[in-house]
Amino acid sequence: MRLRSAEKAAGADAPSVGRLLSAVQLHDYDALLFDLDGTLVDTMPLHHRAYAEVFAARGAELSLVDYMASVGAPARAAIPLMAQAAGMLPATPEEVLAIHRAKKIAFTQILRTSAPQALAASRLIEAAGERKLALVSSGNRDGVMAILETMGWTAVFGAVVSGDDVVNGKPDPEPYLKAAAMLGVVPARCLVLEDAEAGLASGRAAGMSVIDVTQFS
C-alpha cells in the first residue's frame, strides 16, 4: 500500500475515479508525474485562506477569484499579481519575499487542523504498481512537504520537484524535465497529470504525454 490509509482518498468520488482510470493506459508509461494542488489534493481553499490572512494583516483583501487567477505560477510571479488584485501598490522584491515567508507560516499552521481533500487522481498512486512516481509542484518546498506529510505520502514519490528547485517554473518544461531526470526515465515514457494550463503546457514542452484531470471531476 502506497497510501497511509484508504480514508485519505475517500473524497474522490467513484464515477470520477472510474473515468480517470479508464482513460489512463498505464502500460504505455514508465513513470507518472503528478501536480499536487488541484490534481492530487484540493488545497486551494487552504492556500487562499493563508494568503488572505497575510494580506488582511497588511490591510488588503484577497478574494478567492483573484487568488485562483494566479494559480499555477510560481510564488515569485503569483504574489505580485495577487497584490495588484488586492489593491496594493506594486510589490517590491522585498515585499514579495516577506509575503511569501508569512504565507508559508500561515499555511503550515492551517494544515495542523485542516487536512486537504484527496481528489480522483490520487487513486492512481496505488494503481501505478511498480511504475515510478514524481511530484512536480509550483509550490514552495516547505509547503509541499507539509502536505505530503499530512496525507501520508512522504515515502511515495521517487522525486519531488517544487518551485524552489527550479529556475524556470511552469509553463517552462524545466520542472518536468528535472523530475524525469531524477527518476531516470526518458520524457517520452512519462505521463503528466495536471489541472492547470501552465502545468499542461510544461508537460507538453517537456515532450511528455499529458492528461487534464479536470475533465474527470
Position 23 scores a pLDDT of 76
pLDDT at 4: 42
Predicted local distance difference test score (pLDDT) of residue 71: 80
Cα separations (Å) of 178 from 21, 68, 171, 206?
26, 26, 13, 10
CATH architecture of the domain formed by 6-43+117-216: 3-Layer(aba) Sandwich (3.40)
Which pLDDT does position 59 carry in this prediction? 94
d(CA 65, CA 17): 27
| CATH topology (fold) of 44-111 | DNA polymerase; domain 1 (1.10.150)
Active site residue 30: no
**What pLDDT, on the 0 to 100 scale, is given for residue 82?**
95
SS3 160: strand
Domain boundaries of the chain, sorted by first residue = 6-43+117-216, 44-111
Beta strand 190-194 with 209-212: parallel, antiparallel or unpaired? parallel
Mean pLDDT by 10 residues, the chain (217 residues): 41 64 85 95 93 96 93 84 90 92 93 90 92 95 92 96 95 98 99 95 98 87
Cis (ω within 30 of 0) for the bond into 80?
no
Active site residue 212: no
3-state secondary structure 30-71: CEEEECCECCCEECHHHHHHHHHHHHHHCCCCCCHHHHHCCC
Please tell me which residue in 28, 30, 35, 164 is annotated as part of the active site: 35
- What does DSSP say about strands 132-136 and 31-34: parallel, antiparallel, or unpaired? parallel
Q: Is 145 exposed, middle or buried (0-12, 13-18, 19+ CB in 10 A)?
A: middle
Provide the pLDDT for residue 6: 36
Q: Which of 28, 30, 37, 42 is catalytic?
A: 37
Q: Is 161 exposed, middle or buried (0-12, 13-18, 19+ CB in 10 A)?
A: buried
User: Which triple of cell numbers denotes residue 217?
Assistant: 471531476
What is the model's pLDDT at position 15?
59
On whether the CB atoms of residues 50 and 43 are closer than 8 A, the answer is: no
Query: How much is the pLDDT for 10?
Result: 43
Which grid coordinates are listed for 93? Answer: 522584491
Q: How far apart are CA 78 and CA 90, in angstroms?
A: 12
CB distance 208 to 33 below 8 Å: yes
